[in-house]
Amino acid sequence: MSARFCPHCGSALHERVPPGDSRPRLVCTGCGHVHYLNPKVVVGAVAVNDGRVVLIKRGIEPQKGKWGLPAGYLELGETLEAGAARETLEETGLEIAISRLLNLYTRVEAGVINVLYLADVIGGNPTPASHETLEVGQFLPDEIPWDELAFPSHRWALEEWLGNR
Ligand SMILES: [Zn+2]
């Protein structure tokens, strides 16, 4: 899960508290580089198509077979909005226009920050675009498979979408 070798000099990383710091870090035994581990940013969308929200049935772990919002890791050099649109297109085949930020959620246990946008579907065809997606579904509010959702943050976002409509 975490790196064992220094990305700069290749020496082993050892866990210790650096001088002046307050918590253990991975510190290089060769050059002294501190390898900080921080949360990653996951971007996604509550994409709405004629009153229906677009969900994907996940084809990969974690939570394979469960339903989730189209979402994935933000790339370097990419804006949050562009990342949300890219992930939605990759996973569902649908083009979206983002209307606003829905909310941010910290998932401490997963080490990620979810940034979820509200968006309208403006084009494309619902298609499971890769092995990461088994099925693309579009659900009216009373059809949402609440018991089969993959992630709590996706549930929170859907609840906010419904509460904010
Ligand atoms: Zn090093």
Query: Could you tell me where the DSSP H helices lie in 43-151?
Result: 80-92
Write the CATH number for 100. Answer: 3.90.79.10
Question: If you measure from the C-alpha of residue 22 to the centroid of ligand 1, how many angstroms do you get, rounded to a whole number?
Answer: 21
Q: How far, in Å, from the CA of 162 to the mean position of ligand 1? A: 50
Q: How many domains does the chain have?
A: 2
117 and 139 both lie in a single domain: yes
For residue 131, the model assigns a pLDDT of 80
**Quick one: pLDDT at residue 129?**
73
Residues 33 and 105 placed together within one structural domain of the fold: no
One domain, residues 52 and 29: no
Q: What is the CATH number of the domain that holds 11?
A: 2.20.70.10
Please say whether the beta carbons of 46 and 102 come within 8 A: yes
Q: What is the pLDDT of residue 62?
A: 85
Whether residue 107 sits in one domain with residue 55: yes
Strands, DSSP E only, in the chain?
Answer: 13-16, 25-28, 34-35, 40-49, 52-58, 67-68, 71-73, 94-107, 112-124, 133-139
Ligand 1 centroid – CA 111 distance (Å): 24
What pLDDT score was predicted for residue 164?
Answer: 61
Tell whether 64 and 125 lie within a shared domain.
yes
How far away, in angstroms, is 26 Cα from ligand 1 center?
10
Residues 99 and 23 in one domain: no
Give the pLDDT score at 60: 87
Please give the Cα distance from 85 to 18 (Å, whole number).
Answer: 40
How far does residue 15's CA lie from ligand 1's centre (Å)? 13
Indicate if 101 and 146 belong to the same structural domain: yes
Local mean pLDDT, 10-residue blocks, the chain (165 residues) = 85 94 94 94 98 94 93 97 96 96 93 96 89 91 96 93 78
- Specify the pLDDT at position 12: 96
Question: For residue 3, what are the domain limits?
Answer: 1-37
Look at residue 155 in the predicted model and tell me its pLDDT: 94
Distance (angstroms) between ligand 1 centre and the Cα of 11 equals 5
- Kindly report whether the global pTM for this prediction surpasses the value 0.95: no
pLDDT at 124: 95
